[in-house]
Structure 1
Amino acid sequence: MATVAVYDYIVVGAGTCGSLLANRLSSNPELSVALIDPGVDTRGNEAVEDPAQWIEVGQTSLNWDYQSEPQPQLGNRRLSMPAGKGIGGTSLINGMTYVRGDKAQFDAWESIGNPGWNWDSMLQYYIELEHLFAPNQWQLDAGASYDEHYHGFDGELSVGFNPDLHNGTFYNLARETWASLGHDHNDDVNRGVTDGFSIWPQTLDPVKNTRADAATAFLWPIADRNNLFFVNGTASRVAWGNESCLPVAQGVDFIAADGSLQTALARKEVILAAGALRTPLILEKSGVGHAARLQNLDIDVVVDLPGVGENMIEQPNNVIVYNNAAGPIPGYTPYGTFITAKELFGADEEKIALQTKESIPAYAEQIVKGSNGALEIAAVQKLLEIQYNIMFEQNTTIAEVFTAASGTSLASAFWALMPLSRGSVHLKTKEAINDPQIDPHYLDNPLDVHTQVEIGRLCSKFWAGTGIDFTTIAGAQANATNEEWTTFIKDTVAANSHSLGSTAMMSRDLGGVVDDQLRVYGTRGLRVVDAGVLPLQFSGHLTATLYAVAQRAAEMILKGSL
């Protein structure tokens, strides 16, 4: 094993969070920063740069395309679990949607051991990072809207409304139809209230018509800094030192591009930003995780931290597709509708809320059983009670619908925003760092199934209400029975690519992995900054919040380095 070099900071993963962290930490010329990632430089890749090709680029080698474990509740199907593989990570292949979430969901972070983490504190980081391109008049006429008080105009991250935005009659038809179903227009989905119908802004430059991925925004503009070092390799494990009573992260072992095993050393900190589906593997291979699991893998236990890889929450996604007999609808339609429990369940909402509340102990027991004893019933029950409060008592949005028209195809992609099901991600074997054991437990919880069915029914009502002459290509009929809808949902559900929580930021007694400073419990010099630290699902898309978390983390780290 060879030692490559010594740096002040080592960042593992050049994705959404890692790219920003490398930028901020290397802004101090007295600090040396290594960024370790196995991905390729995608500059000049037209499929990445072109916002219109976001679906196609996800089908290339830039997607790890992990496979889940067989899902018994889905007929033992394995589901594709996308994750970006390149400098820029998943921001290279995602749909670029820029939606933050609901205020109450972020405020709940404080109640699980994270003082100072709430909507108001996060808002400043969203604004600092953002460079919003205010919509042109034609885009305003086509439905784009925003409230300038919630946006930034001087940051590095380009956010704008799609330059190919549909500007015909379908927008007004969609808006009026959703309103007829009780879902009025939301003037700014990023103000901490997502409820209603709106047009999504996206992480793109609408003038150049190019994707604003993490590398484009934060890495390539500063790539020539002489204190920033790109290391092409796959991080394998944390190398430990013995300078204190706690294990100290001394560096990172990684597999270099030539296949050799090498080590990079860190004077100050190692920061894992490999993503919710990879960081738990690095921790486990480093001896940090559930002791019983590590011992079964023949890994020496450094820190018994049972929450590693547990508490993973992923959203189920279904799509209904129709053929528009009237002909093609031109332009891009990033139309989002966010829906509360009261709106979705109607007269049944109080009954469903009561049934859910009474079932929380049983749900907690089921989740703990699925964790093979890694989690505690009392802890999981508390987390579910907090989620119940957010969903039913604070009435935040629990469902999202993407209304799309492309050519002669009409579609609704829809998902439960706050599923009660909990999954996990772990090492399969001691050496399988690129082959995670992902078990999302999709639709394990009966409320998740019911929610998904009711969203599907609502989508059918929407399309019927438009008056468009269409034929169904994929989906249950509007008058289908509950059994038929449930079969359709389970047979066609896919990943929504919003996995989080696998290294959750919350108190250790709740199963947390990192504290409110994102430091891994029981260690020194080791942090996690990626989607795994987000402890609860929220009514948004991950990108905006991951950038904000990384910005806040960089601020913490730099203050500590002074």
Structure 2
Amino acid sequence: MPANRCSEEISIKATFRSKRGSMIIPLAEVTNKIYDFIVAGGGTAGCVLASRLSQNPNIKVLLIEAGGSAQGQQNTEVPFLGVTLPGSDLDWKFNSVPQAGLDGRSVPVARGQVLGGTSTINFFTWNRASNALWDKWASLTGDQEWSWKHVEKYYKMTSRLVKPADGHDTTGEIIPSAHGNGPIEVSVPGFPTELDSMVVNTSKSLGGRFAYNQDINAGKTLGFGLMQSSIGHSKRSSSATAYLAPAMNRPNLDVLINTHVTRLVRTSERHISVFRTIEVATSASGQHYQITAAKEIILSAGVIGTPQILLLSGIGPKEDLDKLNIITYVDIPDVGRNLVDHPLVPNYFSVNSDKTFDAVLRDPTIFAGKLQEWASSGQGLFVDSPGNTQGYMRLPKDAAIFERYQDPASSPESAHTEIIFVDGFGQFGEAPAPETGNFMTVLTGVVSPLSRGSVTLTSSDPFDKPAIDLGLLNSEFDIFAMVQAMKDAQSFLTAEPWSGYIKAPFGELADATTDEAKAAYARKFGVTGNHPAGTAAMSPAHAAWGVVDSKLLLKGVEGVRVVDASVFPHTPECHIQAPVYVIAERAADLIKEKYAI
């Protein structure tokens, strides 16, 4: 509906503060414009698209974000403080439905409600997946343009290696030729911890399944090495800072913040339903407005937001929409289905050391000193996220689970499990931090899970949160893999470099001495790795399954494209932010090619 109340028009404004000043866009003014493209969601992918499409001064782009801007909020800039952002005002504050695989517990699901989306609140890890993952996507979609041979150029458009904060020589720690020259800054840790050398030396000495990997982003993810993170010059590098901020003064780019996309509006029906108008509102009780795109609406609202908007628009499984009295315009059964996430379990160990970060978190004076060191010199503990090293592993080839399940990983080059080493007590889930002592946290995860979940509506009100079922540890395979990861972590820690460092497993982990006890521990303390994907998956154009085709166009609809992690047809066996940037870069090219811009 068009804006028609002057007092309300004046009061509803969206502001983005850029380096050069302030851009204020009255919502009523925006509704009177015709844009070529409307990007719904200013997250990881949305900022990329807004930046790339607005490079052509003749193309008018509108970016809409439900949250605000994080500019000037120190916790989003300081890498070590990234752990404070989930559950903050920059987070949607979603919670899962009770998870059967986690003893009926509901767990928080962190998604960024801010420009930059989850790239503004995540824990930085930069993995672009094995080459084989992209070849798997090509096979599943029937489109060889998704193979690594063709996608590599897009990866290199996303990011570039920069020096770590301390400027140390990174020879032997990375393979520079595997990287590109894009906006996102990526670096190895800039404040070494005592764990780093122990992890690297252990992997080099053990070899085999524990082998050292000089660069996890060089095509094969298997092995252990230094973590690469979206950090440059001691600060977070996000899609908002790296892609959007440099584009903010373009006169052909408008940005609305604190504005929710409530639904897509069907504008006509010929041989196919046409959706080129969106409806937006700033609050549940506020006026709803409509804005039209001449060419396309690009949904980049994320793995949860995208299916919610589609369902509210009458696009999804008819049987579900009928229950809420939502008219079904396009019956696509897989909208909101096939959600995949990586379960994560914290394993705690008490250690013989006084160098862990535990004292920093307990003593406000020490904490303030570390923060001041970061602010004044860009050095010290706070220049990195709490974890500096990671490893990816496959299950043993003769694992009994393969007698009952096919290998779910992309290929023999892709992992089943992940291990991350944290130099202190990292509070994941409900385990309280001890008041004394020094600790190490070893995070074990399953990155090729067979469990599946869903995103479904709880009502027809766009401001009501959807039901999120992550499906964590619902599969026997996932439990087997998690237990194996926990055993592998403990085997890794018995190697000579750890001699005298580990005191003992801490808390209930000490009693988890059998496979059954480890499984019970995982169900009690497991959380989400916050890597959800797949709720609007790609598939061949004429396939009965899936939601979008290989060009990311919504099936059965004209005028809508989806670009975010919801389109993943197979979950990456790694942290997923880098693959999201890759699909966004490729989507920008697909759009430019289609419209000759």
Provide TM-score, normalisation by structure 1.
Answer: 0.88
The one-letter amino acid of 1:339's match is M
**1:7-406 correspondence to structure 2 within 5 Å:** 7-115=35-143, 116-134=145-163, 139-140=168-169, 145-152=173-180, 154-166=181-193, 168=194, 170-178=195-203, 179-180=205-206, 182=208, 183-205=210-232, 207=233, 209-232=234-257, 233-242=259-268, 244-256=270-282, 259-329=286-356, 331=381, 333-342=387-396, 348-349=398-399, 351-357=400-406, 388=408, 390=410, 394=412, 396-406=414-424
**1:436-515 correspondence to structure 2 within 5 Å:** 436-465=466-495, 466-467=498-499, 468-477=501-510, 480-507=513-540, 509=543, 511-515=545-549
Write the distance in 2 (CA, Å) between the matches of 1:49 and 1:112.
Answer: 38
Write the distance in 2 (CA, Å) between the matches of 1:469 and 1:336.
Answer: 18
Q: Counterpart of 2:42 in 1: which secondary structure?
A: coil
Write the distance in 2 (CA, Å) between the matches of 1:150 and 1:224.
Answer: 33
Change (3 A) 1:195 1:510: farther
The one-letter amino acid of 1:438's match is I
Write the distance in 2 (CA, Å) between the matches of 1:259 and 1:91.
Answer: 29
- Maintained 8 Å contact 1:144/1:199: no
Change (3 A) 1:502 1:144: farther
**Equivalent pairs, count:** 520
Q: Counterpart of 1:491 in 2: which secondary structure?
A: helix
Change (3 A) 1:475 1:464: farther
The one-letter amino acid of 1:119's match is W
- Maintained 8 Å contact 2:165/2:190: no
Change (3 A) 1:161 1:40: same
The answer for unaligned runs of 5 or more in structure 2 is 4-30, 358-380, 426-437
Write the distance in 1 (CA, Å) between the matches of 2:67 and 2:290.
Answer: 18
- Maintained 8 Å contact 1:135/1:144: no
Aligned to 1:560: 594
The one-letter amino acid of 2:483's match is V
Q: How far apart are 1:76 and its partner, in Å?
A: 1.7
Q: How far apart are 1:409 and its partner, in Å?
A: 2.2
- The C-alpha deviation readout for 1:522-542, integer Å capped at 9, x for no partner, is 001100000100111122211
Write the distance in 2 (CA, Å) between the matches of 1:495 and 1:271.
Answer: 28
Q: How far apart are 1:432 and its partner, in Å?
A: 4.3
Aligned to 1:547: 581
Q: How far apart are 1:127 and its partner, in Å?
A: 0.7
- Maintained 8 Å contact 1:282/1:433: no
Change (3 A) 1:185 1:139: farther
Change (3 A) 1:434 1:247: same
Aligned to 2:18: none
Aligned to 1:517: 551
The answer for unaligned runs of 5 or more in structure 1 is 358-386
The one-letter amino acid of 2:80's match is A
- Maintained 8 Å contact 1:159/1:203: yes
- Maintained 8 Å contact 1:273/1:279: yes
- Maintained 8 Å contact 2:393/2:418: yes
Write the distance in 1 (CA, Å) between the matches of 2:309 and 2:196.
Answer: 46
Name which of structure 1's ranges 65-74 and 233-242 shifts more when overlaid on structure 2.
Answer: 65-74
Write the distance in 2 (CA, Å) between the matches of 1:248 and 1:355.
Answer: 45
Q: Percent identity?
A: 28
Aligned to 2:562: 528
Query: What is the RMSD of the two structures over their aligned residues, measured on CA atoms?
Result: 2.1
- The C-alpha deviation readout for 1:320-352, integer Å capped at 9, x for no partner, is 11222332247554101110123xxx6x42x42
Q: How far apart are 1:356 and its partner, in Å?
A: 1.0
Write the distance in 1 (CA, Å) between the matches of 2:54 and 2:442.
Answer: 43
- Maintained 8 Å contact 1:315/1:417: yes
Write the distance in 1 (CA, Å) between the matches of 2:223 and 2:492.
Answer: 14
